[in-house]
Amino acid sequence: MSGSLSPLAPKTYAEMPPVRGVRMATAAAGIKYKGRTDVLMMVFDRPATVAGVFTRSKCPSAPVDFCRANLPGGIARAVVVNSGNANAFTGRKGRESTKMTAEAAAGAVGCSEGEVFLASTGVIGEPLDATKFSGVLDSLAASGTEDFWFEAAKAIMTTDTYPKVATRTAELGGVTVRINGIAKGAGMIAPDMATMLSFVVTDADIPAPVLQSLLSAGAGPTFNSVTVDSDTSTSDTLMLFATGAAEGQAPVTADDAALDDFRAALNDLLRDLALQVVRDGEGARKMVEITVEGAENDAAAKRIALSIANSPLVKTAVAGEDANWGRIVMAVGKSGEMADRDRLAIWFGDVRVAVDGERDPAYSEEAATAVMKRQDIPVRVEIGLGTGKATVWTCDLTKEYVEINGDYRS
């Protein structure tokens, strides 16, 4: 945990009940600092199915490569997450390190290396000494408990100012199943590399291809719709595991209507975690929800929304509580997507500030400024060309962001 609690932190945390079929434990392996919890191990005593969504970076970390290679197997028995070192841009040594960690984990739980999944977050470019795991994974595998979600969320924090947890239930195949998730944030701080990690587990029984279909679809409007500063980590990892430990559930065979309730609960949980991540953005004091409607199509709407969300001028205006809609127009214009200046309309909250390519004749600076003074600020842009729609979330750009990221690596 670094710095003081984000002003956007949740007032209360979800009570995290166990999810049948998964046990967790943490340890201080001394990856980078002494005496600090830096390893989380999740163990599935019976094989779980697995799905994953990873960074789009062309220079991914060694653990991302490792997970991608194991994903087609569809089976997970163990997950090992470490902080303090991202094992990114570590070349051949990085691959040796993931192999060694996977061997140790597989030995500890009695499975194959292909059933192990890994994630690392921390400093980049430093070789990760995987021998440090050897001594701890056996005892972690043996000592894990089901009632450890909040501790697990705390263990994977690096620059986060609060742990991120969420839980949901859903009706599936005649029974009630549970979905729990933890995440660590898009906060980025020297000496650490940016990384968003999230691990979600359900006790539902869902085949891996269906699980992947659910997760791939769910990530788009949630984790892939939040941005802190437009910078993409080499290590972003979102994984979903299904233990199948909910007894009596009717089999699932395809991503169809039988999954509607589960899908809704999962998407709601993913959105919850993603918003917790953006609310913990470095230096963030305000959360901005940007909705673009009337674009050529949904993909165009999302590109316009992200152009707004990633604009330093928009984000500094939000920090300054300035209803500067000209910068929204600028960001729409630079997105490269179809837009007709003279059809644009822009709202801050319920206050329409611009319409038909001009300032709203009824525009009230006072009313717009009142919206900007809120902690959560909704921005809506109507493009007026089609039916494409998207919502993304970001935070403001503050001096604290510059301070945090401009500090010399200690």
Binding site for a second copy (CB under 8 A): 55-60, 88-93, 123-126, 188, 190, 193-194, 229-234, 310-313, 316-317, 319-322, 324-327, 329-339, 341-342, 344, 354, 356-359, 397-399, 401-403, 405-409
Q: What is the DSSP letter of 145?
A: B
Supply the minimum distance, in Å, between the C-beta of residue 233 and a second copy: 7
Q: Is 315 annotated as a binding residue?
A: no
The answer to whether the beta carbons of residues 222 and 215 sit under 8 Å apart is: no
DSSP state of 374: S
Residue 234 annotated as lining a ligand binding site: no
| Per-residue CA distances from 222 to 16, 27, 70, 72 (Å) | 21, 30, 24, 24
Taking the complex as a whole, how short is the minimal distance between the CB of residue 375 and a second copy, in angstroms?
16
Owner of token pair 């788009």: 220
Minimum CB distance to a second copy smaller for 59 or for 299: 59
- Helix then strand then coil, in percent of the chain rounded to 5, is 35, 25, 40
Catalytic entry in 26, 161, 195, 202: 195
Which phi and psi (to 5°) does residue 399 adopt?
-60, -30
Residue closer to a second copy, measured from CB, 100 or 189: 189
Between the alpha carbon of residue 225 and those of residues 64, 218, 276, 309, 368, the distances in Å are 20, 11, 13, 10, 25
Residue 195 a catalytic site member:
yes
184 is in an annotated binding site: yes
Query: CA-to-CA distance for 17 and 69, rounded, in angstroms?
Result: 32
In whole angstroms, the minimum distance from the beta carbon of 302 to a second copy comes to 15
55 marked ligand binding residue: no
Return the number of the residue (2 or 112) whose C-beta is nearest a second copy. Answer: 2
Minimum CB distance to a second copy, residue 90 (Å):
6
CA distance 297 to 318: 27
Please report how close the Cβ of residue 241 comes to a second copy at its closest, in angstroms. 26
> Is 198 a known ligand-binding residue?
no
282 is annotated as contributing to ligand binding: yes
The Cα–Cα gap between 41 and 6 comes to 27
Residues 384, 382: Cα–Cα separation, whole Å: 6
Q: 251 vs 408, which CB is nearer to a second copy?
A: 408
Give the residue with the Cβ less far from a second copy, 202 or 310. 310
Q: Are 231 and 194 in contact (CB under 8 A)?
A: yes
Indicate the annotated binding residues for substrate.
158, 184, 195, 282, 405, 410
Question: Which positions are catalytic?
Answer: 195
